[in-house]
Structure 1
Amino acid sequence: MRVAVVGGGISGLVAAYRLRTLLGPEADVLVLDQADRVGGVLYTGELAGEPLDLGAEAFVGRRPEVPALLRELELESQLVTPAGLRPLVWSAGVARPLPVGTLMGIPATAESMRGLVDTETMGRIASEPGRPLTWEPGSDTDVYGLVADRFGAQVAERSVDPLLGGVYAGSSRSIGVRAALPALAAALDSGAPSLAAAVGAALPPPSNAPVFGGIRDGYRVLLDALAAHSGAKFVTATPVTRLARGLRGWVVDPIGAVDAVVLATPAPVTSRLLGAVAPAAATELAGIELSSSVVVALALPRDTALPGNSGILVATGEPLRAKAFTLSSRKWTHLGQRETALVRASFGKFGDDSPLSWSDAELVTAAAEDLSTVTGAAIAPCSAVVQRWPGGLAQYAPGHTARIAAVETEIGSLDGLAVAGAYLHGVGVPACVASGTAAAHRIATGSSASTAG
């Protein structure tokens, strides 16, 4: 059996690895990517002579996919957890602790917002359970529309936006409730009498387990292991120009005939490739918009006076260019042991791609100046590295879940074709691992059924 995996990001690499385990050593698995390397938006570069992730640097630790995959690949010793410090949020020119007891920054009580929002907003949150809530089960709206209406704009801009910006490089205005906060949507569908009550019902039970995990030597350890164990042939710097039905299976230009295909490409690329074979799905995917971002990693003298926090998020409307800082040497114990202090500054949000066009020198200067503003410390980088991510993250807009359901319905009618990627059921690494695994099982199951027939 010959299978083409189009897209060599984490979803595609997991799909290739799973296909190998499911189809056996005789299967011919090819991974194609238009970039000159695999990994997609996961990339481990170097700063001050040592590895540092310049894309995603953590994963949600409460999901099982990544730890299980590391164990399976005998990389469990690479699993690290954060030092347990809390982030700050920069709002109204002051750094304050990020509120606790919230669902993606949405509070269940007014008390959690104390110090972050004004007295009027505190009162509005406190009185919200007494105001009638109109919610149509199964409906969707942007997060801002719901939160600002019930709790006030300050809650959305100062508490919710900084967190959504970190996950989606978007904001509460560009992200839908149902896709980004399914537990909240479920609580509202079930008849929660207020937003506060819905948040209370949707909050996960208290746990001492780490919220996040990471990989000691960077994601390239996982990417390299997946590539090696997949036994796939890798064809990089080669865009796929066409997908069509073949006499038996599929035709993928430029490699020719294959028995099955996994499209693990971003939504716009997947849309283009599906145009002739799944036009309704292609139309749906064309409606998914992407945001761009830039990561600027700084190596600073070890004695730089950084706060004892994991990071500093920036509220909407602040006169800063950066949207967030990860204080990597504080957040991760293993990085804190290096000879320099490490900080990652993030730029760019949905609707504003301008940081992509700034020069490296301009970005490093902006990162250092903004970091000095939010910490009060003198920032003098020893070295720096810039990584641009054009179109790196899909926006889960209102209606996203219905859109994806329509895509998967049409794809489900086509034998030997599967889709995977961060635009489907979550942008995080665990969701991508699950997506690649599901795609591989769909292909393998179809192969088994065909063989049995």
Structure 2
Amino acid sequence: MNADTTGPHVVVAGGGIAGLAAAHRLLAGGARVTLLESGDRLGGKLLAGEIAGAPVDLGAESLLARRPEALALARDVGLGERLQAPATTTASVWSRGRLVPMPKGHVMGVPGDARAVEALLSEEGVRRIGQDGDLPPTEIGDDTAIGAYVAARMGHEVVDRLVEPLLGGVYAGDAYRISMKAAVPALFDAARRHPTLTAAVRAVQRAGAAVPADAADAATGLGGSVFAGLDGGIGTLPAALAAAVRAGGGEIHTGTPVTALRRTGATGWQVVTPGRVLTADAVVLATPAGPAATLLADHAPAAAAELAAVEYASMALVTLAFRRADMPALTGSGFLVPPVDGHTIKASTFSSRKWRWITDRAPDLFVLRTSVGRHGEDDHLHRDDTDLVAASLKDLAAATGLTARPVATTVTRWTGGLPQYPVGHLARVARVREAVAALPGLRLAGAAYDGVGIPACIASAHRAADEIIATRQTPHPGAGHSS
């Protein structure tokens, strides 16, 4: 991949996975690229680290393999041979004081048959699901909160015990506020076509089953696994991507925040940083919504106001390493925790069971991690590391019987890490993009737009880059120069 020195100069603001993916895509399309990251490292919520000598992910640790964007990008930057399916995907739910195997036969916690979740729910909860077929059709409209809709059709218990830990955990948010249209679009579309929610779930399941297993295997190369990781950690992807960007002629500067944007002529931009001003033909803002709103305030005030209203959830990851000889017999890949039970942790991943590469490199250790914090629970993030470790160990002991003391601990805080997708989020994104489209040579990318997962972030980056490349603007006089 070599940059075309006659192509337009594009500045990418933000060095997370979306910014890096946009830079990579722009270079492949013939642009000259300068990426500016305000912090001292690249990768955003992807962070490789180690504990007691064992390599671990201290941020996102898996990606959705049924979408092609992340797998393709990993292969493009030379990491294809390091892609791995999880060693196990069998998980549990810690509900009412016991670990219950994760039910099957549901779509993000919404069951197609009450019998599929009867081990997790009370008799009344199971009966309430069965009433879905007796209720008249529910008008969904343009959007609805998945928790509220499912509760109306099947009762609150299935939301609190299954939808909330699954879907609410993905967004670190509240299932009763999360947009069904944004978070589970296939189920939203099916619910609009079918008279009952049960029928809608079954329709989604049939559509998924229509993809032959061998086709899924061929598409992912991972045995059809729903999820994938990288040997050494997902956190190694940003470094490989940055290396590919530099090899293609792109410039990357950390510790360089973008403080302002200025229009120059009909299509050009000046990108202001504390140390210099860059002249560019186009700009990709791959920052969180708040910083993007600040930079857009003078150019697209309506879009800026919309972005400023996007809420974020903060969370902490507590990574713990134990001597394997001290561990009880833990099964599966970990467990989820319904918030309704009032525990501190919201999930635990048994990393040494889930990822072969951790066990291969640290066979005498057992690494696991817990996650703490959801939208509106920022108080947890203000607790010191010792308190978060102690709270995690207390919940782990209650859930699994683990009484061993860790040989090492690491707490990683992700303040404002996950944008929330409430009802109306997709309409908001559409309004933002419509307003920004009126600004030639400016596009947006990142987790705030099309999904919080890694493939979705990459897809938003590719969309932004492709739209800029499609314009093939004549290079602005002096583009790429700084003053």
In the superposition, the TM-score normalised over structure 1's length comes to: 0.95
Residue in 2 aligned with 1:222? Answer: 237
- Determine the C-alpha separation between the residues in 1 that align with 2:74 and 2:40: 25
Match of 1:134 among 138, 144, 162: 138
Residue in 1 aligned with 2:220? Answer: none
> Aligned-pair distance for 1:413?
2.1
Residue in 2 aligned with 1:7? Answer: 14
Contact 1:371–1:379 under 8 Å retained in 2: no
Residue in 1 aligned with 2:449? Answer: 424
Match of 2:56 among 52, 56, 79: 52
Contact 2:315–2:414 under 8 Å retained in 1: yes
- Determine the C-alpha separation between the residues in 2 that align with 1:379 and 1:135: 52
The equivalences for 1:292-441 within 5 A come to 292-303=314-325, 304-337=327-360, 338=362, 339-441=364-466
Residue in 1 aligned with 2:29? Answer: 22
Residue in 2 aligned with 1:194? Answer: 196
> Aligned-pair distance for 1:448?
5.0
Deviations 1:218-240, CA, capped at 9 Å, x for gaps = 23432112111112322222322
Contact 1:85–1:308 under 8 Å retained in 2: no
Equivalenced residue count is: 446
Deviations 1:132-184, CA, capped at 9 Å, x for gaps = 022144x2121211111111111111101111233111121231111001011
Which of 382-391 and 283-292 deviates more?
283-292
Residue in 2 aligned with 1:251? Answer: 270
Residue in 2 aligned with 1:286? Answer: 308
Alpha-carbon RMSD across the aligned residues, in angstroms, is 1.6
- Determine the C-alpha separation between the residues in 2 that align with 1:200 and 1:437: 33
Which of 73-82 and 229-238 deviates more?
229-238
1:143 partner amino acid: I
Contact 2:62–2:234 under 8 Å retained in 1: no
Deviations 1:375-416, CA, capped at 9 Å, x for gaps = 012131010111000000011100011111111112222211
Contact 2:131–2:153 under 8 Å retained in 1: no
Match of 2:171 among 156, 168, 171: 168
- Determine the C-alpha separation between the residues in 2 that align with 1:174 and 1:193: 23
2:292 partner amino acid: T
- Measured at CA, do residues 330 and 189 of structure 1 come closer, stay the same or move farther in structure 2, by a change above 3 Å? same
Deviations 1:76-104, CA, capped at 9 Å, x for gaps = 11101111331110111111011111111
Contact 1:369–1:379 under 8 Å retained in 2: no
2:16 partner amino acid: G
Residue in 1 aligned with 2:124? Answer: 120
Residue in 1 aligned with 2:218? Answer: none
- Determine the C-alpha separation between the residues in 2 that align with 1:134 and 1:345: 38
- Measured at CA, do residues 413 and 450 of structure 1 come closer, stay the same or move farther in structure 2, by a change above 3 Å? farther
Which of 332-341 and 436-445 deviates more?
332-341
Match of 1:213 among 215, 228, 235: 228
- Determine the C-alpha separation between the residues in 2 that align with 1:160 and 1:306: 28
1:214 partner amino acid: G
- Measured at CA, do residues 449 and 100 of structure 1 come closer, stay the same or move farther in structure 2, by a change above 3 Å? farther
2:170 partner amino acid: V
In the superposition, the TM-score normalised over structure 2's length comes to: 0.89
1:249 partner amino acid: G
Residue in 2 aligned with 1:35? Answer: 39
- Determine the C-alpha separation between the residues in 1 that align with 2:463 and 2:150: 34
> Aligned-pair distance for 1:336?
2.8
> Aligned-pair distance for 1:437?
1.3
1:321 partner amino acid: T
- Determine the C-alpha separation between the residues in 1 that align with 2:330 and 2:157: 25
> Aligned-pair distance for 1:306?
4.2
Deviations 1:285-343, CA, capped at 9 Å, x for gaps = 12211000000100011130142111110012223211110011111222233221010
- Determine the C-alpha separation between the residues in 2 that align with 1:136 and 1:21: 42
Match of 1:274 among 263, 284, 296: 296
> Aligned-pair distance for 1:188?
2.1
> Aligned-pair distance for 1:186?
0.8
